[in-house]
């Protein structure tokens, strides 16, 4: 009897402890669920893990405490039938708990699959059989859907005019692309080959096209806080539609969906991240699976309606060894294989027609210019006179200049009329983007040439650095690449530049590192003096970049004795911070 009473009391105590623990688990889950408290739980996890050490068992436990808080309540709930039946029929309670656990893990995936199928069917809509378009000579494409589809349609032989849907930006022209007689291309490019296909841009004439291709996108493929729930959630829907504007008839529709669905209802995870995206900030979320249809294929859809499309341009792959043969002495060859799109005979005429009609302010115009310029990067193809004439026309006629054209002018000023002298003229007289293009080009050219090669521009560089030094620190980088001692220039820059002291010191040391070897003797005392002045205001050695740049400069200038002396002055603690693992910088920053 006494044993039975003791057993009953122990079981009662166990039930009480169960309810206390269950209540505590609900409180912990609530702390994770409520946004205002979830952030503090996350901070406590991180602080606890950091204090205890993330690699220790206690630190790992502190970091995973949030997951325990998110899941303990439903584990306790599953155990309820067993705990409550301990005094009477524990095996029945255990069976109920086990059955509930199996149902929780096996049933939800089937419910989720059914919900996903309903969501997809509702959003995709009824299937529409593709119908032939019949004779088509003109078609309208979306404003961002012409690349490279316009060319494929016009070269296919059937379509003669491709209109681009009216742009939404104010001041951007409304264009159409046409297949024209060869004489029209020869008027813009006298070297256009007789009999070649001629594609040109023209202002839209306002006529109605035979077909219209529309592309609509709703939503985004990035998850949102709402999409992390317990039911499937549509994230993005894309729809491609072909219609006949004259009758309003829809010939074909294709839909692409991107959606999230929970993998199951448990386990749960605390939604307490700090990515600033608005996705996190409280709540209990299950594991999510992302589903997406294959990308839509406009070219394939147009082909199915009976239109003839040419194959897209191929890619010409260039061996880096072939590129290096075309590079001037002293210019490093690229360390990778590269290529460019196959050229077409109408490239120059098409770009000139875009330039004449303001088409370079459109996405399509930018696409064609960028594609054409790709073959001139890294000396893959040396431009001829008609290419260089178009370079000049583009640079003069478009403001701001296309980004790729600006980069080409910076790296290859000889490709443009006036060459390097014109860069100096532009830097001294222009404002805005073209001034900065010119200054970047000046520095780029000076750094890859010898002082003798830079001698004709030395006076202009000194004049330019005197005018611009207070605003544009990167100009100083080339100070050591001319036939004059750069040390006085760098001293003057440190004293007069209105950049922050730390920034101007870094730029001056980078310039010393990039200087020609002949100036090593005069630059070494300058480097050591600059570092010692910095050390006076930085006794703890926090400005590690200054010390890293100085050691790199002495190393590149081959001043071994000064390099070892500076390392000894800085001490092992700073040197270790500058070069962790003993790795010494052997090139300029």
Q: Which two tokens stand for residue 335?
A: 């360390």
Q: Please state, as a whole number, how many other Cβ atoms lie within 10 Å of the Cβ of residue 546.
A: 22
Query: How far apart, in whole angstroms, are the C-alpha atoms of residue 220 and residue 108?
Result: 27
Given a contact cutoff of 8 angstroms between Cβ atoms, the answer to whether 426 and 438 are in contact is: yes
* Residue 214 phi, psi dihedral angles, 5° rounding: -115, 145
Residue 188: per-residue pLDDT: 96
Full-prediction pTM beyond 0.95? no
Containing 250, the helix (H) or strand (E) segment is strand 249-262
SS3 readout for 189-239: CCCCCCCCCEEEEEECCCCCCCEEEEEEEEECCCCCHHHCCCCCEEEEEEE
- pLDDT tens-digit profile, the chain (589 residues): 577 777 778 888 888 888 888 888 888 888 877 777 777 777 777 777 677 666 677 666 666 777 777 888 899 999 999 988 887 888 998 999 999 999 999 999 999 999 999 999 999 877 666 666 678 899 999 877 677 899 999 999 899 999 988 766 776 788 899 999 999 999 999 999 988 999 999 999 989 999 999 999 998 877 776 778 888 999 999 999 999 998 888 888 999 999 999 999 988 877 765 444 445 556 788 888 999 999 999 998 888 888 899 998 888 876 554 444 343 333 333 433 467 888 999 999 999 999 999 888 888 888 899 889 988 876 568 899 999 999 999 988 887 788 888 888 888 888 999 888 898 888 887 677 778 888 888 998 899 899 999 999 999 999 888 876 545 567 889 999 999 999 999 998 888 877 778 888 989 999 999 999 999 999 999 999 998 998 888 877 778 888 888 888 998 999 999 988 888 888 887 777 777 655 566 678 7
* Residue 222 phi, psi dihedral angles, 5° rounding: -80, 135
Q: What is the dihedral of CA 69, 70, 72, 78, to 10 degrees?
A: 170
3-state secondary structure of 179: strand
* Residue 178 phi, psi dihedral angles, 5° rounding: -135, 150
Residue 14: per-residue pLDDT: 85
Q: Which two tokens stand for residue 21?
A: 């623990």
Closest C-alpha among 294, 287, 250 to residue 270: 287
Measured at the CA of 242, the angle between CA 239 and CA 243, to 5 degrees, comes to 125
Peptide bond preceding 489 in cis form (omega within 30 of 0): no
SS3 readout for 327-374: CCCCCCCCCCCEEEECCCCCHHHHHHHHHHCCHHHCHHHHHHHHHHHH
Query: How far apart, in whole angstroms, are the C-alpha atoms of residue 346 and residue 320?
Result: 28
* Residue 312 phi, psi dihedral angles, 5° rounding: -65, 160
391: Cβ–Cβ under 8 A, 6 or more apart, which residues?
Answer: 383, 405, 408, 409, 415, 416
Query: How far apart, in whole angstroms, are the C-alpha atoms of residue 184 and residue 192?
Result: 10
302: Cβ–Cβ under 8 A, 6 or more apart, which residues?
Answer: 139, 149, 153, 213, 242, 309
224: Cβ–Cβ under 8 A, 6 or more apart, which residues?
Answer: 235, 278, 279
Residue 11: per-residue pLDDT: 80
Containing 268, the helix (H) or strand (E) segment is strand 268-270
SS3 readout for 489-545: HHHHHHHHCCCCHHHHHHHHHHHHHCCCHHHHHHHHHHHHHHHHHHHHHCCCCCCHH
26: Cβ–Cβ under 8 A, 6 or more apart, which residues?
Answer: 73
Query: How far apart, in whole angstroms, are the C-alpha atoms of residue 561 and residue 578?
Result: 19
């Amino acid at each position: 009897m006494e044993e039975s009473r003791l057993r009953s009391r122990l079981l009662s105590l166990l039930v009480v402890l169960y309810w206390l623990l269950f209540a505590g688990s609900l409180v912990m889950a609530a702390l994770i669920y409520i946004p205002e408290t979830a952030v503090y739980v996350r901070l406590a996890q991180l602080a606890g893990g950091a204090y205890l050490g993330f690699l220790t068992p206690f630190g790992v436990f502190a970091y995973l405490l949030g997951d325990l808080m998110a899941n303990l309540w439903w584990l306790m709930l599953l155990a309820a039938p067993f705990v409550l039946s301990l005094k009477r029929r524990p095996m029945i309670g255990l069976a109920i708990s086990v059955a509930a656990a199996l149902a929780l893990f096996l049933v939800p995936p089937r419910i989720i699959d059914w919900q996903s199928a309903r969501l997809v069917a509702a959003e995709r809509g009824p299937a529409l059989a593709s119908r032939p378009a019949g004779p088509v000579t003109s078609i309208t494409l979306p404003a961002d859907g012409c690349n490279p589809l316009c060319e494929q349609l016009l070269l296919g032989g059937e379509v003669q005019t491709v209109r681009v849907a009216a742009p939404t930006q104010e001041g951007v022209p409304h264009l159409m692309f046409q297949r024209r007689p060869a004489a029209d291309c020869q008027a813009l490019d006298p070297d256009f080959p007789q009999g070649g296909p001629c594609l040109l841009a023209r202002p839209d004439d306002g006529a109605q096209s035979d077909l219209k291709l529309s592309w609509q996108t709703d939503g985004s493929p990035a998850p949102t806080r709402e999409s992390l729930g317990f039911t499937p959630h549509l994230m993005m829907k894309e729809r491609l539609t072909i219609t006949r504007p004259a009758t309003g008839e829809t010939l074909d529709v294709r839909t692409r969906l991107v959606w999230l669905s929970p993998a199951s209802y448990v386990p749960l995870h605390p939604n307490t991240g700090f990515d600033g995206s608005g996705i996190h900030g409280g709540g209990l979320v299950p594991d999510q699976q992302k589903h997406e249809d294959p990308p839509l294929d406009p070219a394939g859809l147009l082909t199915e309606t009976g239109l003839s499309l040419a194959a897209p341009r191929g890619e010409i792959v260039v061996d880096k060894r072939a590129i290096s043969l075309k590079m001037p002495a002293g210019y490093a060859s690229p360390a990778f294989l590269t290529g460019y799109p196959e050229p077409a005979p109408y490239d120059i005429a098409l770009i000139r027609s875009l330039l004449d009609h303001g088409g370079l302010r459109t996405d399509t115009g930018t696409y064609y210019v960028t594609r054409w310029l790709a073959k001139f990067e890294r000396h893959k193809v040396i431009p001829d006179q008609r290419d260089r004439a178009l370079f000049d026309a583009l640079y003069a006629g478009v403001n701001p200049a296309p980004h790729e054209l600006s980069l080409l002018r910076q790296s290859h000023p000889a490709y443009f009329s006036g060459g390097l002298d014109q860069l100096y003229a532009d830097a001294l007289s222009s404002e805005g983007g073209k001034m900065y293009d010119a200054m970047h080009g000046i520095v780029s050219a000076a750094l890859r040439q010898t002082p003798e090669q830079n001698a004709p521009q030395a006076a202009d560089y000194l004049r330019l650095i005197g005018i611009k030094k207070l605003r544009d620190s990167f100009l100083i980088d080339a100070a050591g690449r001319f036939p004059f001692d750069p040390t006085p220039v760098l001293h003057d820059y440190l004293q007069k530049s209105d950049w922050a002291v730390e920034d101007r010191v870094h730029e001056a040391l980078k310039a010393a590192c990039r200087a020609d070897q002949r100036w090593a003797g005069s630059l070494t005392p300058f480097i050591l003096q600059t570092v010692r002045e910095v050390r006076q205001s930085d006794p703890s050695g926090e400005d590690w970049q200054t010390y890293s740049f100085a050691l790199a400069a002495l190393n590149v200038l081959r001043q071994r004795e000064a390099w070892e002396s500076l390392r000894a002055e800085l001490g092992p603690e700073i040197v270790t911070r500058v070069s962790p693992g003993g790795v010494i910088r052997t090139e300029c920053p």
